[in-house]
Amino acid sequence: MISGKVQSRRIYEDEHVLAILDINPANPGHILLLPKEHYAIMLQMPDSEVSYLMMVAKHLSQALIRAFNVKGTNIFIANGAAAGQRAVHFMLHIIPRMPGDGVSSFALPANNFSSEELSATQKVLSAKIAELMGAKVSEPINLDQKPQAIMPEKKADEKPSGNKEEIDLDKISENLAKQAGGL
């Protein structure tokens, strides 16, 4: 699509991104926003490119609302095969919405977990986020207080220090490529 070898209905393009109409839209105006640089999943993208992509998504969402008088948009990312990603290139979906349009509302199940399970999840996730963001978490976060912004001192394209148990982003990409080949 980006190279022009696959026919697509381009609606926006600049030096960083390409926006096309989905050929199997959930609703008329369903947009796919892709970075021009190849990334299989969002986790491989530099922070600056993720920020730029979201800024463009905001403007495309606004265009859908104003052009078609829709009442909202769903903006979502299927990040990896387990999340439903089928293409081997990262993309963001922007779907125009109207009440009663028949498109799934992306309702998530309300699973009940014990306070202990939630606390354990909070502890593990907070520690990993602190590690990746270059911050320290000395005690559990009080969810009743507004969080303070923590600005990392890392470069946007710097990779986190790896240990042997780190998730290999290339393996996620390879699994996605294998699954896409089997479709």
Q: Say what the pLDDT of residue 4 is.
A: 58
Structure tokens at 84: 């439903």
106 to each of 32, 69, 74, 119, 139, how far by Cα in Å? Answer: 18, 21, 9, 26, 34
Buried b / exposed e over 132-147, threshold 16 CB at 10 Å, is eeeeebeeeeeeeeee
Structure tokens at 136: 């320290």
Q: Which residues, other chains included, contact 11 with Cβ-Cβ below 8 Å and sequence gap of 6+?
A: 19, 20, 21, 31, 60
Sign of CA dihedral 58, 63, 65, 66: positive
Q: Go through the domains of the chain in sequence order and give each one's CATH number.
A: 10-97 (3.30.428.10), 112-161 (no CATH)
Q: Say what the pLDDT of residue 108 is.
A: 78
Residues 75, 92: Cα–Cα separation, whole Å: 7
Q: Say what the pLDDT of residue 19 is.
A: 98
pLDDT along the chain (183 residues), means of 10: 69 97 95 97 96 98 96 94 92 96 83 92 91 73 54 50 52 66 53
Predicted TM-score of the model (pTM) = 0.70
